[in-house]
Amino acid sequence: MNNIVEDLRNSISSHKFADIKKALSDFEVNKDNIETAKELIEVLKSDKRKNVISIGIKYEKSLEKYNKEVERVKLLYEFDKQRVKPGEYLAGVDEVGRGPLAGPIVAAAVVLDLDSLENIILEINDSKKLTDHKREELAEIIKRNAIDYSISLCDHNEIDEKGIGVCNNLVFLNSVKTLKKVTPSVVLSDGYLVRNLDIYNEAVIKGDTKSASIACASIIAKVFRDNIMKEYDEKYPNYDFVDNVGYGTSKHVNAIKKFGPCKIHRLSFLRNILK
């Protein structure tokens, strides 16, 4: 790409618009090409052709968007970093699946490298605000880059036996306790304090929009649970689990009334539906 920029700088007026557009078709602004992007914008906007200038303006907007995203995510990392001393580790924990009529409740704990803001994971957010594709992509990035992570679940039988509140706490607790590489000094949990946790714990309301570690936990827990429900959809195709992932959509409720519950339904959640 640097060769293309240098070529354009030396003789942009000799290049046809179609050739310029084709040469830059795969170029996207990222952390590894910021300076190249700045040079490219300068070269493109220096041309006299409006269509070439428009490409420069497009990349200028992309660079502005990228920089805003970096600043947003840095604030999430700083939120976490302010809560630990040098050398300590912080875990963020979040759950997915408290409300569905079927399937497990899942929690994840994630420990990030908070000292290296050069390697922050962009686009992390409340998992519900992301597309399926982006969640899947980010889940793999998080797992590769996290210092440590762990996933815990309680299945539908445990939820019926112990209650959703107990299971909610259990998956929080177990996800922290099953971290293998490090022991955190601080645990940030989304919305609820974790009972019986012998580590300093802070509950953060809407934590997946404030804490980088909680946001990452939200994403990998969501992807893990959604993939379980997609597998269940193949086994129990009448209930549309691939789309509703167990939540009580009208299509799902109507299927329960028509076919009755299947083996992964939370019977304690169906009393009003089956009465």
Residue positions forming the annotated binding site for a divalent metal cation: 94-95, 190
- Compute how many other C-beta atoms are within 10 angstroms of the C-beta atom of residue 72: 13
Distance CA 264, CA 71 (A): 43
137 Cβ contact list (under 8 Å, min separation 6)? none
Strand 186-190 to strand 105-111: parallel, antiparallel, or no bridges (unpaired)?
Answer: unpaired
Contact 172, 157 (CB under 8 A): no
Token pair 């009208």 in the structure block, residue: 250
Strand segments, DSSP code E, in the chain are 90-96, 105-111, 148-154, 186-190, 200-204
For residue 91, give the DSSP letter.
E
Distance CA 39, CA 7 (A): 12
**Which residues are known binding-site members?**
94-95, 190
What residue type is 118 in one-letter code?
E
What are the distances in angstroms from CA 232 to CA 17, 19, 118, 180, 263? 51, 49, 40, 29, 10
Q: CA geometry: angle at 244 spanning 171 and 100, to 5°?
A: 35
Work out whether the CA dihedral 158, 163, 164, 165 comes out positive or negative.
negative
